[in-house]
Structure 1
Amino acid sequence: MSATASPIAGETAEAPALPAAGSSFYTAMRLLPKERREAMYAVYAFCRSVDDVADDGGAREVRAAELDRWRADIDALYAGHPPPRVKPLEEPMRRFGLKREDFQAVIDGMAMDAEEDIVAPSEAKLDLYCDRVASAVGRLSVRIFGMPEADGIRLAWHQGRALQLTNILRDIDEDATRGRLYLPMEKFHKIGLMTPTPQSALAHPRLGEVCAAVAAEAEEHYRQTWAIIQRSPRQATKAARLMAAAYRLYLDAVVKRGWAAPRARVKPGKLSLLLVALRHGIF
């Protein structure tokens, strides 16, 4: 999954598509009661569909038009006459109080990728992007999980950014092949690279300083995530705990690997992921 995708992106049809067996998201969602799990699969399907439009939906004007159709479909859902492809969201919307603006925010985030190849965005633009493609998904998720409202929104804010920054660091080379660079402009200015391109940024001898600074921000978001999880009802945070712990393995792995080229693709070992699943899925 590239950095452009939200942490739970999936694929839709009239019935919700399922995430890949063995993925962190699949394992986390299996911890939920049936009605909450099915609601998350419906949200997953929606996210995957709009992400596919943003990344692989053809010419930019075609992608923009299709995302506009998704916006209209979400509006129709909340007006009480959902088209078939958003019909699976109807029951979760009613049962768990899912917010129209969060679905629209996810679409707006995907539109940021569809409109242009993002290259070294400002800190503010990167934060907006993370909020739309990750924290907005989190806001939908915490309502399904049954989190208390205030701490649920805080959890979505921090965990969404933690996961998305981890994606960005993990996928810098993959994103560069698409002409994208999500590391923020201000951090490149600090190392003297004033107009970075994906190629010049990844070849820069001080790239590690930029990545380390982003990793430190991700680590702080993980710290805040765990502080919220630890004071929240355990049953409502099982899935969030597993996702946070699994994604932290990826962050630790890229930091340990370092930033010098060639950068091998990192993936935590199966045993490490199994231990995370056992610890946070059972205990």
Structure 2
Amino acid sequence: MTSNAISNDLHAQVAGSSFYTGMRVLPRRERHAMYAIYAFCRAVDDIADDQRGARDERTAALDAWRRGIDALYAGGDSGPAAYLADAVRDFRLAREDFHAVIDGMQMDVDADICWPTAAVLDLYCDRVASAVGRLSVRVFGMDEAPGKALSFHLGRALQLTNILRDIDEDAAIGRVYLPREELVAAGIALDSPAGVAARPGIDRVARVLARDAHGHFTKAQAILAGRPRGHLIAPRLMAAAYSQLLARMEAIGWGMPRRRVRVSKLALLWTMLRLSLRR
């Protein structure tokens, strides 16, 4: 496949997502690198969420990605990871961050995650979200210290917000990412994903997680307010849009029946315009 064909294919995968709004303003080389990272994340996430595939088959598919990533860094036949080559070379992306993302997906494949401890939830957030941030900040051109700090806090803030948005969707496929300690403190019996998700006490648990997410948003926005070096309109956009999404969910609450709150593409465009004018 030619590089132009790969670029067009990656563009098609990204174009329908809210992610696209923030990435399209990047310079061409950075934009294509982010499209490649996004496509990688989509590919391994689809493996983890394949409810029809057997667990051993999904593990084998993730192992193929691990081998592809290793081969890419060794200069061999990287198979499915070949389209990442330019991004890895141009931005010195770290192999361990790709492996961390795959390890996070493996957690979902090994067993459907239900009421993890707070420590396991934090590890999961680091792998599936903050590791993606660590790849991204290299593309954005951030210095190492503020880049890692932003990845830590913004990754966790975004992932916790997603968890709070997707409680019912996750329960429908046998997963509950809300922390065990808070569920037990709220007196919720840990019997089944659907049962846990339907308990009235979920609102109390969700608000504790929302408080944690707000704390991470606050720290991420403080880093961005310091105007560190880099192309940072994309993380500014995601922080602004998802903190607003979290606030809207808090206003509605997590009592039954729940209504899924979405990120408005129009709101994303308006936020991007506002942030562009403030640069």
TM norm structure 1: 0.91
* Residue number in structure 2 paired with 1:173: 168
Determine if contact 1:24/1:246 at 8 Å carries over to the other structure. no
In the other structure, the counterpart of 1:129 is: 124
Q: Quote the residue 2:10 is aligned against.
A: 17
Aligned residues: 271
Question: Given the alignment of the two structures, is residue 239 of structure 1 paired with residue 234 of structure 2, yes or no?
Answer: yes
Q: 2:136 aligns with which of 117, 136, 141?
A: 141
Distance in 2 (CA, whole Å) between partners of 1:117 and 1:247 is 26
Once the two structures are TM-superposed, the CA of residue 50 in structure 1 deviates from its matched residue by: 0.6
The residue aligned with 1:3 is: none
**Conserved 8 A contact 2:14-2:39:** no
Cα distance in 1 between the residues matched to 2:200 and 2:223: 38
Match of residue 186 from structure 2: 191
Residue 149 and residue 252 in structure 1: after superposition, are their counterparts in 2 closer, same or farther (change >3 A)?
Answer: same
TM-score (norm 2): 0.92
Alignment equivalent of 1:265, drawn from 252, 255, 260 = 260
The amino acid that maps onto 2:118 is: E
Aligned to 1:5: none
Post-superposition shift, 1:82? Answer: 3.8
1:78 is matched with which residue: 73, 76, 80?
A: 73
CA drift of 1:274 comes to 3.0
User: Could you say which residue in structure 2 is the equivalent of 1:48?
Assistant: 42
Find out whether 1:156 has 2:151 as its counterpart. yes
AA matched with 2:85? E
**Cα RMSD between the aligned structures?**
1.7
Measured at CA, do residues 95 and 184 of structure 1 come closer, stay the same or move farther in structure 2, by a change above 3 Å? same
Q: Give the 4+ runs in structure 1 shifted more than 4 A.
A: 13-16, 268-271
| DSSP-derived class of the 2:67 partner | helix
Unaligned 5+ segments in structure 2 are: none
Mapping 1:196-215, distance limit 5 Å: 196-215=191-210
Q: Deviation digits for residues 139-176 of structure 1, max 9, x if unmatched? A: 00000000111000000000000000000000000101
Find the partner of 1:106 among 84, 101, 106.
101
Tell whether 2:24 aligns with 1:30. Answer: yes
Matches within 5 A, 1:216-235: 216-233=211-228, 235=230
Is this contact kept in 1: 2:190–2:196, CA < 8 A? no
TM-aligned CA deviation for residue 207 of structure 1: 1.2
How much has 1:243 moved relative to structure 2?
A: 1.1
- The 1:91–1:21 alpha-carbon spacing in structure 2 relative to 1, beyond 3 Å, is closer
SS in 1 for 2:45: helix
Q: Which amino acid aligns with 1:246?
A: A
CA 1:30–1:209: 2 relative to 1, 3 Å = same
Residue in 2 that maps onto 1:95:
90
Q: Within 1, Cα distance between the matches of 2:143 and 2:229?
A: 12
Amino acid at match of 1:77: L
For structure 1, list consecutive stretches of 5 or more residues without a partner in the other structure: 1-12
> SS of the counterpart of 1:114?
helix
Partner of 2:232, secondary structure, is helix
2:275 alignment counterpart: 280
In structure 2, C-alpha distance between the alignment counterparts of 1:144 and 1:115, rounded to whole Å: 31
Q: Deviations over 1:6-60 (max 9, x none)?
A: xxxxxxx955523443633101101111000000011111111111111116100
**Structure 1 269/52 Cα, relative in aligned 2: closer, same or farther at 3 Å?**
closer
